[in-house]
């Protein structure tokens, strides 16, 4: 559904509240968290929060909502970490997910916490029709990350923006304008850059120019910088990896797209083979056309073999029983020749491709 997609991509966020005995949900565009204040009360802090009793409408006098010890612990983790999956929250608090979900239901309808998945709203509403506590909280759908509703962390020094920045560093290793814009969260690049600049001396995150192809303002943790310095940069060490072009791990999909002369659209049927982190071979239309990004024939042969291994080991296109390859394109992608005339034809045959009347076919063997 559209709501699932918008919430999962961070473009829309939701908040719950109790209007007398009715549970209501409001939706907000990411970055407009200030308007959440107009929809009930946003949590003010651990221990003492304002909210709605089940018998009190949103336009009537608010009552005091006091959290128990577990609910305070949940809020404390969310304030510290910023956004947390239920399994991580369960591990940090050493409690089963079923117990946490029971506690978090009250926090959801008090407008204190939210999730970046709309399935949570359906889950809690469907629970009203269930009688057994076991069926309510021991069976639950896939969920996104939990966080404070409407909180940008401005109520404490550093706020949740520090947790968000560390999440980006865990995910990407570096923070830049392109990465922040891609994540589409509630924090803008202006917010992130201001925090990083003001806390550079104490945060252990240093500014520099670490990755070519990104904008000049980049930040990386000290320990990650040391890991880069210790990395063996020998040209003799080569590592080949095949990824679907729409895989989030593919930096050339969104972050570094402008540095590649010829780009493959982010589609399920396209794949990219990397050599030491640089793309060297594109595979289009579920293998129908291969396109080189280097003139080194030996590199292309190894890249083609890596692609075949990835497909055979079910790391790519698991629903395809076979791959039919017919063409070999030039680096710009404008001119095509028969795959039989390509420099990788022999390697493909040696890797398991079968020649036919037109093109070659690779069959995936049953495991």
| Residues 13 and 91 reside in one and the same domain | yes
CA separation for the pair 257, 266 (Å, rounded): 11
Contact 220, 174 (CB under 8 A): yes
- Tell me, yes or no, whether 70 lies in a domain: yes
Residue 180 region, left (φ>0) first, then alpha (ψ -120 to 50), else beta? alpha
Mutual orientation of helices 189-198 and 159-172 as an angle, nearest 10°?
A: 100
The model's pLDDT over 313-356, given as tens digits with 9 standing for 90+, comes to 888 888 888 999 999 988 776 788 899 889 999 999 998 899 88
Lowest mean pLDDT among 58-67, 72-81, 260-269, 324-333: 58-67
Q: Quote the pLDDT of residue 306.
A: 93
| Residues 11 and 136 reside in one and the same domain | yes
Give the DSSP letter string of 62-96: -EEEE--HHHHHHHHHHHHHSSEEHHHHHHHHT--
Q: Quote the pLDDT of residue 156.
A: 37
| Residues 58 and 138 reside in one and the same domain | yes
| Residues 7 and 129 reside in one and the same domain | yes
| Residues 214 and 302 reside in one and the same domain | no
Q: What is the mean pLDDT of the segment spanning 111-131?
A: 81
- Tell me, yes or no, whether 154 lies in a domain: no
| Residues 131 and 164 reside in one and the same domain | no
Q: Quote the pLDDT of residue 220.
A: 92
Count of domains for the chain: 3
Q: Quote the pLDDT of residue 21.
A: 75
Q: Quote the pLDDT of residue 63.
A: 46
Residue 145 has pLDDT above 70, yes or no: yes
CA separation for the pair 226, 192 (Å, rounded): 23
The pLDDT mean for the chain works out to 77
Q: Quote the pLDDT of residue 45.
A: 36
Residue numbers of the domain that contains 244: 240-363
Q: What is the mean pLDDT of the segment spanning 62-88?
A: 79
CA separation for the pair 144, 4 (Å, rounded): 11
- Tell me, yes or no, whether 262 lies in a domain: yes
Q: Quote the pLDDT of residue 30.
A: 64
Q: Which two tokens stand for residue 325?
A: 């390859």
The model's pLDDT over 261-320, given as tens digits with 9 standing for 90+, comes to 445 677 888 999 998 888 889 998 999 999 898 888 899 999 999 999 999 888 888 888
| Residues 48 and 169 reside in one and the same domain | no
CA separation for the pair 336, 359 (Å, rounded): 13
| Residues 332 and 268 reside in one and the same domain | yes
pTM score, whole prediction: 0.49
| Residues 188 and 219 reside in one and the same domain | yes
The string over 112-136, giving b where at least 16 C-beta atoms fall within 10 Å of a residue's C-beta and e elsewhere, is bbbbbbbbbbebbeebeeeeeeeeb
Share of the chain above pLDDT 90, in %: 12
- Tell me, yes or no, whether 86 lies in a domain: yes
Element (H, E) at 340: none
Look up tokens 């390509």; give the residue. Answer: 342
| Residues 174 and 273 reside in one and the same domain | no
- Tell me, yes or no, whether 337 lies in a domain: yes
Q: Quote the pLDDT of residue 3.
A: 74
The model's pLDDT over 234-260, given as tens digits with 9 standing for 90+, comes to 556 788 999 888 887 777 766 665 545
- Tell me, yes or no, whether 235 lies in a domain: no
Residue 57 has pLDDT above 60, yes or no: no
Final residue of a domain: which of 209, 230, 251? 230
- Tell me, yes or no, whether 22 lies in a domain: yes
| Residues 132 and 176 reside in one and the same domain | no
The model's pLDDT over 195-207, given as tens digits with 9 standing for 90+, comes to 888 888 778 899 9
CA separation for the pair 154, 202 (Å, rounded): 19
Q: Quote the pLDDT of residue 168.
A: 87
Final residue of a domain: which of 168, 201, 230? 230
Final residue of a domain: which of 148, 178, 203? 148
Residue 219 has pLDDT above 90, yes or no: yes
Four-point Cα dihedral 80, 85, 89, 92, nearest 10: -80
Four-point Cα dihedral 39, 41, 45, 48, nearest 10: -160
- For the ranges 21-30, 60-69, 284-293, the one whose mean pLDDT is highest: 284-293
| Residues 6 and 132 reside in one and the same domain | yes
Residue 104 has pLDDT above 90, yes or no: no
Q: Quote the pLDDT of residue 250.
A: 77
- Tell me, yes or no, whether 94 lies in a domain: yes
CA separation for the pair 68, 181 (Å, rounded): 38
As a 3-state breakdown, the chain gives helix, strand, coil percent values, each rounded to 5, of: 40, 20, 40
């Amino acid at each position: 559904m559209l709501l699932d997609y918008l919430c999962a991509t961070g473009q829309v966020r939701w908040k719950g509240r109790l209007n007398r005995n009715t549970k209501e949900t409001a939706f907000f565009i990411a970055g407009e968290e200030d308007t959440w204040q107009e929809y009930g009360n946003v949590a003010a802090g651990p221990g003492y929060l304002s909210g709605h009793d089940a018998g009190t409408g949103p336009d009537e006098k608010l009552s005091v909502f006091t959290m128990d010890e577990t609910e305070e612990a949940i809020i404390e983790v969310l304030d510290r970490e910023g956004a947390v999956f239920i399994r991580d929250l369960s591990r940090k608090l050493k409690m089963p997910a079923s117990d946490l979900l029971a506690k978090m239901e009250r926090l959801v309808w008090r407008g204190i916490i939210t999730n970046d998945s709309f399935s949570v709203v359906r889950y809690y509403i469907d629970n009203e029709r269930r009688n057994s506590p076991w069926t309510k909280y021991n069976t639950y759908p896939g969920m996104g990350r939990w966080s404070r509703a409407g909180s940008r962390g401005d109520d404490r020094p550093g706020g949740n923006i520090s947790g968000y920045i560390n999440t980006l560093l865990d995910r990407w290793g570096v923070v830049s304008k392109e990465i922040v814009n891609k994540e589409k969260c509630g924090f803008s690049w202006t917010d992130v850059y201001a925090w990083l600049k003001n806390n550079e001396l104490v945060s252990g995150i240093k500014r520099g120019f670490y990755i070519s192809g990104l904008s000049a303002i980049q930040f990386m943790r000290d320990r990650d910088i040391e890991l880069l310095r210790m990395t063996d940069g020998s040209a003799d060490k080569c590592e080949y990896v095949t990824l679907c072009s729409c895989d989030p791990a593919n930096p050339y999909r969104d972050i570094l797209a402008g540095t590649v002369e010829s780009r493959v659209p982010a589609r399920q049927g396209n794949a990219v083979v990397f050599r030491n982190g640089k793309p060297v071979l594109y595979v289009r239309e579920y293998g129908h056309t291969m396109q080189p990004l280097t003139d080194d024939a030996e590199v292309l042969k190894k890249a083609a073999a890596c692609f075949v291994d990835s497909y055979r080991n079910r790391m790519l296109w698991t629903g395809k029983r076979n791959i039919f390859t017919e063409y070999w394109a030039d680096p710009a992608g404008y001119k095509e020749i028969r795959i039989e005339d390509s420099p990788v034809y022999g390697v493909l045959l040696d890797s398991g491709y079968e020649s036919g009347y037109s093109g070659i076919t690779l069959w995936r063997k049953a495991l």
